Amino acid sequence: MKSQLRLFPFAVALVIIGLFTSACAPFNLQGFHLPKIQIEQGEPQPQTPVVVPTATLAPSPNPSTLANPSSATLLTTLEDTLAQVYAQVNPSVVNIQTTQRLAPSLNLPFNFPGQAPDQAPVTRSLGSGFVWDTQGHVVTNNHVIDGADRITVTFADGNTVEAKVVGADSDADLAVLKVDVTAEKLVPVRLADSKQVKVGQLAIAIGNPYGLEGTMTVGFVSALGRSLPVQSTTSGGATYTIPDVIQTDAPINPGNSGGVLVNIHGEVIGVTAAIESPVRANAGIGFVIPSNIVRRVVPALIANGHYDHPYLGISGTTLTSDLAKAMGLSSDQRGALVIDVTPNSPADKAGLRGSDRQITLEGNPARVGGDVITAIDGNPVQKFEDLASYLATATSVGQKVTLTILRNGHEQTIEVTLGARPRTQSSASSTTRSGAYLGITGRTLTPEIAQAMGLDPNQQGVLVVNVVSGSPADKAGLRGSFKPATINSEQMLIGGDIITAFDDQPITSFEDLQTALAQAAPGQKVTLTLLREGKPQQVEVTLGTRPNS
C-alpha cells in the first residue's frame, strides 16, 4: 500500500449530531489536505495486552551475574534519566481540544437518532501543545486549531481552560494560543539549538496520541534536513515547504500534533507535526518542525499575530548530474536551478533568470537553462533545500543577500533585497484573511471526486465540504457534503454543492475561489453558479467580514 503523509490533530475527530456519536479515522492528508469530517464506525481502542502467566516468566537476572555488570548500571542510569526528562517536561505539555460548528442543515436524506431538524452538527478534534512562557502563551500546530470555533486547553494536572488564538502561521504550521492561568501554574519549555541535533541521538516525544494525555515515547533522530510541504497556497497558486525538518522514529501518532520532541536534557528540539504511514498510525517515520524555526516564528506571532517569511520569489530544483550535463556543465556541478521567477518579486527585480527550454529525462519533461545558485552570502548551496534553509533561519524581510550564480556557465554575483512572502491560507478553507468572507470549507474538484458524484470526470469547480453556521453561505442556502466516500485511499465527504462560477467568472479550482474572495468586499452581493445534484443553478450571496479568531 502506498504510504501517505498525514497530519494528526487527534485526527480521530468526533461528529456529534443530536445524541448520535460516530468516531472517525485519523485524518488522511495527502498533500497536507485536512478533511474535517470522516466517518467510521467504532472508536479506536487500544489493543488488548497479551497476558503471560507468571509461572512462564524467567526470573530477572541478577546484575552481578551478567557478563558485563556495567551494562546494568548503564541501563539503570538511562531509565533514571528518561524518568527525570518526563518529570521535567510533561507539566509543560497540554492537551488541546477544538470544536467547529457546521451549518444546521446538511440536506441529509435522514435524521440521526435524537437529532432535531435545525440542530447544527459539531466536529471535535484533539491535539497537543506546550507552554511557551508564564504569560499564558501556548504553542501548537496551526493545523490543530485551524477553523476552530472553540478551543480548550487541558494541563497535566487536569485543569481545563478556554483558549484564544493570538496568532497563526500556516507556512510554518505553528500557532500561539492565550490562556488565563496564573504564572505559578505555567511551566515553560526550554528550547535547544536544532542546528546542533545529530542523527543517532536519543529523541523523546511527549504528547496526547489518541487523546492519551502525557504519553512519552522514545526513539532516535533518524535524519535531518527533510522538507515538509506547507498546508497552504497563495492566491496565485504558489506553494512552499518547511525546511530543516527533523525525522524521527520515536513513535508518534494521531493526537501528537503540536507536542514536543526533546533531547536527553529535556530541551525541545522540535514540534511534532506529521507522519508518513500507510496505516494511519506510527510507522517509524515522523516529522518535526525544528526548534530554530519555532524560535523565530513564535515571538512574532505573540507580538504581531503573524510572521513575515523572507521571500526571494523563485521556484526551482536541485541541479542533478543529468540536468548539469544537459546545460553543458560538469556532471558534478551542484546548486539550486532556478525554474521560474515570480513577476515583480525580489528575484525578478534583481534580474534572476528562470529556465527557458524543456528537455526529456528518462521519459519525463524537465526544464533547464536558468540561473544556478551556488552560494548565498558565501554559504555553499549544494541543493535547493540549502537555499530554503538559509532564507528561513538566517535572513529577515528587507535584508540584502548576495547570490553567487552560474549563468550560461559563467559565475557572477547578484545582490537581492528580500521581501515578505505573500500571505497564504489553509488549502481546506475558502475564507480569506483579507477581502470578503463566504463561510465554507471546500476543495478543488478532482476527476475521481467528480466520478464518485456521478459527474463528468472533466467537470471543474470547488466542492463545498462544510458550511459554517450563520455564515453568508449558510444564509444563502449553500449545501455542504454529507456522503462518506473513500477516494484514492482518502476518506472524505462528498455530495455538496459545486461552485463553478463567481459573478460569471469561471471557478476551476480552490485557488480561483480564493482569488475572487480576496478581490471582493464585505457587503458585496455576488452570484454563485452551482451544480447541485448534477443540476446547474444560481444563488445570490451577500458576502460578509471574516469573524475574529
DSSP reduced 3-state for 519:
helix
471 is catalytic: no
Cell of 129: 501543545
DSSP summary character for residue 455: S
Q: Answer for the pair 272, 254: CB distance below 8 angstroms, yes or no.
A: no
**From the candidates 33, 143, 169, 512, which is the catalytic residue?**
143
Active site residue 265: no
- What is the chain's length? 549
- If residue 232 lies in a helix (H) or strand (E), which one and from where to where? strand 232-233
Instruction: State the catalytic residue, choosing from 146, 171, 173, 497.
Output: 173
Grid cell for residue 231: 498546508
Q: Which residues contact 390 (CB under 8 A, 6 or more apart)?
A: 376, 377, 379, 381
Verify whether residue 33 is a known catalytic residue.
Answer: no
H and E: helices and strands count for the chain:
9, 35
Q: How far is Cα 475 from Cα 501, in angstroms, rounded to an integer?
A: 19
Here the contacts of 500-505 (C-beta below 8 Å, separation 24 or greater) are 500/460, 500/461, 500/529, 500/530, 500/531, 500/536, 501/527, 501/528, 501/529, 502/526, 502/527, 502/528, 502/529, 503/527, 504/529
CB-neighbour burial class of residue 509 (10 A; exposed 0-12, middle 13-18, buried 19+) = middle
Closest CA to 545 of 436, 434, 430: 436
Catalytic residue among 92, 170, 232, 257: 257
If phi over 0 gives left and psi between -120 and 50 gives alpha, with beta otherwise, what is residue 458? alpha
**Which residues are designated catalytic?**
143, 173, 257
